[in-house]
Homo-oligomer: A and B are copies of this chain.
Amino acid sequence: MAMKKLVNKPENLVQELLEGFALANPGKVALEGSNLVVRTTPKLKDKVALVTLGGAGHEPAMSGFVGEGMLDISVPGEIFAAPGPPRVVEALRAANRDAGVLLIVLNHAGDVMSANLAMGMAKKEGLNVKQVLTHEDISGGPRSNPDERRGLVGCLPVIKVAGAAAEQGRSLDECLAIAERMEANMATLALAVSGATHPSTGDVIATIADGEMVVGMGQHGEAGGGTQSLKSADETTDIMLAALLEDLQVKAGDELFVVLNGVGSTTLMELYLVLRRAGQILESKGIKMARTLVGEFLTVQEMGGFQMCIGRLDDELKALWDAPCNSPALTVK
């Protein structure tokens, strides 16, 4: 699989993509400082700010979630690599306010180290910062072993509800509690059907044989979970949803969101087939598919496959889910 990408010099890739991203969303985001992605119309200072960090190459994530009702600042790293602590501290300082700052971190070694170091420095400086870690990938291990669970597209629901809470003027502790409640009530599983190439190195970052698929593939082509024969949309949905419902211990009467996140070359068409089947299964079990979100939010270059993320909603979380937002990757009226 030779790389077929429209890129220029690898060493300029992130800089150039950020410039294009800002140009594509002039009314929404801008670059500030050392390439921090910020809103063009900042949130009032008496409201909690939300900050995140994460490697580039997953567009629209994470910087595409910056906007009204979502994030205040995103710190993009290099391709697939977390930004270092200095820029994360810079972001925490830029977001600093009496109301406090919530840092949302996806559980990947580099992100966690950077975040922890930055949090330590920020606290030393007296900043009012708290942190929430997302780790909802059930392929990493049992729920009792959260360290082993990666953070996948579940960051989006967490950002959505915490962002809405912040916009409503809730306190830092309340925003944190809401983010943690959402985090504790969700589960994600990733499927890969075809590989991808690393846009800087050109290396193949995952190879999946003809007629095969991998359940539990990580966000950077890291293998994991089971390689099995490629299945129909319905069969694949059955397998993945069963695992998620089991992990989250979903019961009849529960209300769920279902997020289907295409990771690259898998079409919306296919995701609609999967959602249709998920709806049938949930209905047959007396579980309500209360909210849905289908699209490409956190991609892995041109990889084929998707992440299925489900989460248990209560009335407050539903209201926060429905609250308006306006970011490059998600707009709710």
Residues in A lying within 8 Å of B, measured CB to CB? 2, 4-8, 13, 16-21, 23-24, 26, 56-57, 59-60, 64, 193-194, 199, 208, 210-211, 213, 230-234, 236, 260, 264-276, 279, 289, 292-294, 296, 299, 301-302, 304, 324, 326, 331-333
Contacts and interface: CB of A to CB of B under 8 A. Distances in A.
Contacts of A7: 232-233, 270, 273
A59 B272 contact: yes
Nearest to A21: B272
> Which one of A4, A60, A302 has the greatest number of beta carbons of chain B within 10 Å?
A4
A271 B20 contact: yes
Contact of A236 (B6, B19, B267, B304): B6
Given A16-B276, A210-B2, A294 B24 contact: yes
Nearest to A212: B4
Q: Which 3 A-B pairs have the closest CB atoms?
A: A20-B272, A265-B265, A20-B276
A275 B8 contact: no
Given A6-B274, A272-B21, A302 B266 contact: yes
Contacts of A269: 13, 17, 56-57, 59, 199, 301
Given A8-B232, A8-B233, A23-B272, 12 more contacts: A2-B210, A5-B193, A5-B267, A6-B231, A8-B273, A16-B273, A20-B279, A23-B276, A24-B275, A59-B268, A265-B302, A267-B299
Contacts of A268: 21, 59-60, 64, 296, 299
12 contacts: A2-B210, A4-B208, A4-B230, A19-B272, A20-B271, A20-B294, A23-B279, A23-B292, A24-B272, A24-B292, A264-B265, A267-B299
A274 B233 contact: no
Nearest to A302: B265
